[in-house]
Chain A
Amino acid sequence: MASSGADHAVWLRGIEKQFPGVIACAGADLRVRPGTIHALLGENGAGKTTMVNVLAGVYRPDGGEVWVNGQQRFFHSPADAIAAGVGMVYQEFRLVPNLTVAENIVLGSAPGLLRTNEIEERVAELSAAYGMAADPTRPVWQLSMGERQRVEILKSLWRNASVLVMDEPTAVLTPGEAAELGATLRAMAEEGRSVIYISHKLDQVVAFCDEATVLRQGKTAATVDNLQDVDLTSLAEMMVGTSGGGYVDRPPPRDRGPEVLSLQNISALNDRGLPALADINMTVHSGEIVGIVGVSGNGQKELAEVITGLRRPAQGRVAVNGQDVTRASPGDRYGLGLAYVPEDRLGVGLAPKMSVVDNSVVRSYKSQRRGLLLVMDRCVKFCQTLVERFGVRVGRLNDPIAGLSGGNLQRLLLGRELAEQPAVLVAAQPTRGLDVQGVAAIQSHLVEQRANGVGVLLISEDLDELQALSDVLLVMYEGRVVGEYPPDVTPRTILGSAMAGNPPT
């Protein structure tokens, strides 16, 4: 192994980064050769964003080294990274809507005297050189998303970035615009610049990129030197990959009970107003675990939200225990037996600034009342029971939960959801980011609930977990269920091609 990063445009070496309750990077590596387009792959939470934020000077790593163009760097701010030639294009563009294209491009790096005409001319030359049509005189608010993205790229080129990082660049683009973006990136690579390309859309990754790094659970799980050598299926497999994560013995199959959750013809839009779910039909029976397989961003989040009432479906019907709940509020659905462990634990499932007690009664505070008053003794008792039963390690019950570890937060959340014997449990990424004991504890709770007759919908990005726990696997691709497979006898390659959108017939 070379002892310096001289041969690489970017070398992130052994990056470690921890956030309260989450280990984002645990010694991940990323090497990008000059003049290549490098795909950075991995599920949500695998550490991609943290890695590129380390490169962009937004985060400082707890451990590891950052090398850019053969020099070790210690970035103290994004400005340092820009000076070193790193350009970032975030998903949410960072442009000033009221300024023109040219003004946005030179913002922060303008020469002392702003001569509008000259700058506009130079911006026009730059955009022509890379085949990006952009009228420098137009205000940014008039531009389409695709045009705004071009402005972001031009901004980096203006600062002569040798490395351009693009986070999910095609999420906001039409297919035509995406193809144009591919051509622009290629032109940049041919000049010797490097591009780091983060995306979940594997077909585009294969079409645009030369090499790839796959992150999983904060570590580098695989590197691909030549993407032409691999197919979509194995790429999908690498991404979802294996965690060695089935810590619980596979429960013997049981007789299925009655239907507890059913979705009929569900369609829904995502936050951007684009179709996220199309014609979904599925049922979960009492005493079974239904696993949802898929590369993230294929509608799993929206599926969970539609079921639990946080998102209105455009059409279709949701029923819990045979009762139509399509128009019911999330709280009412819980009352009917639908428990939910959301993917975003701290943002949706829990209130980080409130106490352990307050968080434990989110579902049941109404039954802890006497008249108008909330009976604090009962709340505390309820909380103590949860904490003991689910082995949550907490300090004082009246302290905010923000200080708890990820595993303990999840134990508390799961315990709260299970406290009142639900009929259905929707668990989204319940073990993501947890340590080994945490994963094992959560998984065994899920299996135990199945044995108790709860119907579990398990949405996960961990194939090992899904295969170990589920009674049936449903594969989602672009908002549709593209296949149903028995977990134990289905080879990975079949699941892989279904996840890539080509279910074997």
Chain B
Amino acid sequence: MMRPVLIRRERVVPATQAVAFVVGIATALVLGLILLWTSGHSPAEVYERMFDAAFMGTDSLARTLERATPLALTGLAVAVAGSMGLWNIGAEGQMMAGATIAAGVAMGADGLSGPLLIALMVVSGVAGGMVLMLGPALARSHLGVSEIITTLMLVYVAIRVVEWLETGPWKDPESFGFAVIEPVPEQASLPGLFGRAHIGTLIALGLLLVFSLAVSRTAWGYELRLAGSSPNTARYAGISLRRKVLTALLLSGGIAGLAGAVQLTGSATRLESGLSNGYGFAGIIVAALALMRPSGVVVAAFVFGAVQVGGQSIQTLGVSSAISDILQAMILFAALVAAVFFNYRIRWRGPAGRESSDDEQAEAGDDALTMEGV
């Protein structure tokens, strides 16, 4: 009996990535066809609406970019930790922490001019994310406590804090009894680009570029790569793993905090408990789709943003939000599976006969889907 085994590719070829991606998305669309048919919708109409809503015209494109921007930032945040083999599951919370500190600063310094206030808010957003990450980062680097658990738990703490601020100390006195925080000052909105798109997109792109250069072109990035791919070799080279873990996690938290500040100044009118809107969790998917690479984050965030915008738009055709969610999930799942084939290929294996050793490694799980795989 033949059975498939995943084998790690010796060399990753960019062309195969594109092919795997397209095949993956096409598969999802075909499966979605069945889903839409059986639920009584016209697939052609639905797909056309999705595509139009996400890509056709500047307004559509702007909406996609608006969505993709926080996804790119949280995706990068997760990827920074991921490059060291660490999982920041709590970007959602760090995003909230960043937005909270930024909102607090805006309240205290609303006399400042726009650019100055925005700059201050962005910096305090980074600081907020880092503060929330400080505990998990130190616990991980010095005590070996799993960052997966601690970062995740703090998500709920951060969201509850904002809820408390909404109903308590920061409640807007002019809100007619609604539990909302006062809007951020007018001058603290990020300049727009076109439609709903704002320069947060450029900030995200710039940061991705800087980070990707830092990783591939600086001694700091070299140490990070070495420590991430081969911890014992890094130790041998005299690199302090503890410090690398600490910086990677803090940086990750800071970028997620920045996402919060950008969201607050770019798209939201005020700090609210729904501000993070799942972007932090979605960042995990973005980073996984991107295989933890900054260049991949750009593409993955854009695709994810488009899928979200498109998925929402079809609800106006009477497609239930559940079906829309399933469709979105199918597309992302297909992309994720496709990403596996960036690094792995399938080999069919018969019952007996000679086999090369890498088959067994893949089978035994030594080299099979680990962190950096997906």
A45 within 8 Å of B (CB atoms)? no
Which 5 pairs show the lowest CB-CB distances between chains A and B? A331-B238, A351-B230, A329-B238, A353-B229, A348-B232
Contact of A399 among B11, B222, B232 (CB under 8 A): B11
Instruction: Tell me, rounded to whole Å, the shortest Cβ–Cβ distance linking A416 to chain B.
Output: 10
In the assembled complex, how far is the CB of residue B43 from the closest CB belonging to chain A, in whole angstroms? 42
Residues of A within 8 A of B230 (CB): 347, 350-354
Query: Across the two chains, which residue of chain A brings its CB closest to B355?
Result: A60
Per-residue 0/1 for B216-236: is the Cβ within 8 Å of any A Cβ (1 yes, 0 no)?
011111110110011011011
**Given A59-B360, A351-B226 in contact, is the A376-B235 Cβ separation under 8 Å?**
no
A352 to B372 Cα, complex, angstroms: 14
On chain B, the residues within 8 Å of A373 by CB distance are 217-218
Residues of B within 8 A of A344 (CB): 232
B358 close to A374 (CB less than 8 A): no
Query: Is A250 interfacial (CB 8 A cutoff)?
Result: no
B233 near A365: Cβ-Cβ < 8 Å: no
Q: In the complex, what residue of chain A is closest to B351 when comparing beta carbons?
A: A76
- Interface hits, A322-369 → B, CB 8 Å: 329-334, 340, 342, 344, 347-354, 358, 361-363, 365-366, 368-369
- Interface range for A: 35 or more
Question: Is there contact, CB below 8 Å, between A20 and B357?
Answer: yes
Q: A330-B238, A344-B232, A400-B10 provided; 11 other pairs, C-beta below 8 A?
A: A58-B364, A62-B354, A331-B238, A333-B238, A350-B230, A353-B229, A365-B223, A373-B218, A374-B222, A400-B11, A402-B10
CB-based contact A358/B219 at 8 Å: no
Residues on A with beta carbons closer than 8 Å to the beta carbon of B239:
331
Kindly state whether residue A432 has any CB partner on chain B within 8 Å.
Answer: no
Q: Is A310 an interface residue (CB 8 A)?
A: yes
B237:A362 contact, CB within 8 angstroms: yes
When chains A and B are docked, how far (Å) is the Cα of A60 from the Cα of B355? 8
The answer to whether A74 and B237 touch (CB under 8 A), given A348-B232, A372-B219, A374-B218, is no
Contact A374 to B217, CB < 8 A, known contacts A351-B229, A353-B230, A358-B222: yes
Within residues 183 to 234 of chain B, which ones have a CB less than 8 A from any CB in chain A? Answer: 217-223, 225-226, 229-230, 232-233
Cα distance A20–B219 in the bound complex, in angstroms:
30
- Of residues 353 to 371 in B, which have CB atoms within 8 Å of A's CB atoms? 354-355, 357-358, 360, 364
Task: Provide 12 A-B residue pairs closer than 8 Å at the C-beta atoms, listed in order of the A residue.
Answer: A310-B235, A330-B236, A332-B238, A347-B232, A347-B233, A348-B233, A353-B229, A354-B230, A362-B236, A365-B222, A372-B218, A402-B10
Q: Are A354 and B357 in contact (CB under 8 A)?
A: no
In the complex, chain B residues whose CB is within 8 Å of the CB of A353: 229-230
From B10, B217, B225, A376 is in contact (CB under 8 Å) with: B217
Nearest-Cβ distance from residue B243 to partner chain A, whole angstroms: 12
What residues of B have a CB within 8 angstroms of the CB of A60 in the complex? 355, 360
A226 at the interface (CB under 8 A from B): no
**Distance to closest chain A CB from B220 (angstroms):** 7
